[in-house]
Amino acid sequence: MTDALKEFSAEFAKQIRRFNQLVDSKAPADSDAMRELSSILSRLLDVGERCPDAWSDTEIEAPELDHDAIQKMISKRFPEFGFYNSSNPSMGPMDDAKIEVNDASYDVYDIYCDLNDSLWYFDNDEYELGLWSAKLLFGHWGRHAINLKSYLHKQLYE
């Protein structure tokens, strides 16, 4: 483990904690919370894009989450969130272009769950495993973050 990986892990963990703290708050989110969520998503995407390759032979798994409780918490925190349309960026001909229906609450849920494992690994000095997990799942949680950021942008600024 290099000092650079340890430092990057600390930076990544800081951004995940910011996201979790905002989501974990009990009060329904107001426009200030929505702007903060949008800002946090930008920082998470930044660290996700810069995440270095890491590998660990450790066979330890993060504790299982209470998925029902997380979904209920998110629904209470973001009661105004709903379904929205987004495009599926296709590399094929325009005839293959599709519109998708997404759910902003589910975006928050997937980001929260995907990154929670990495945070647990970081907090338990399994830095390589935390980075590996975050990078492995970046295609998934990153797409949710991009779509949610776009949704928030429309709600806040257009």
How high does pLDDT run on average in the chain? 92
Task: Identify any residues that bridge with 85 across adjacent strands, giving them in sequence order.
Answer: 101
Question: What does pTM read for this prediction?
Answer: 0.92
Please report the pLDDT score of residue 155 as a whole number.
92
pLDDT tens string 43-83:
999 999 999 988 777 788 999 999 999 999 999 999 999 99
pLDDT tens string 111-130:
999 999 999 999 999 999 99
* pLDDT-derived band at 2, boundaries 50, 70, 90: confident
What domains sit in the chain, N to C, each tagged with a CATH number?
3-55+69-157 (1.20.120.1550)
45: exposed, middle or buried (C-beta count within 10 Å: 0-12, 13-18, 19+)?
Answer: middle
Average pLDDT of the segment spanning 94-107: 83
pLDDT, greater one: 96 or 148:
148
* pLDDT-derived band at 88, boundaries 50, 70, 90: confident
Among residues 24, 154, 39, the alpha carbon closest in space to that of 76 is found at 24
Structure token digits, residue 144: 């949710």
Phi first, then psi: give them for residue 101, nearest 5 degrees.
-105, 125
State what percent of residues in the chain have pLDDT above 90.
79
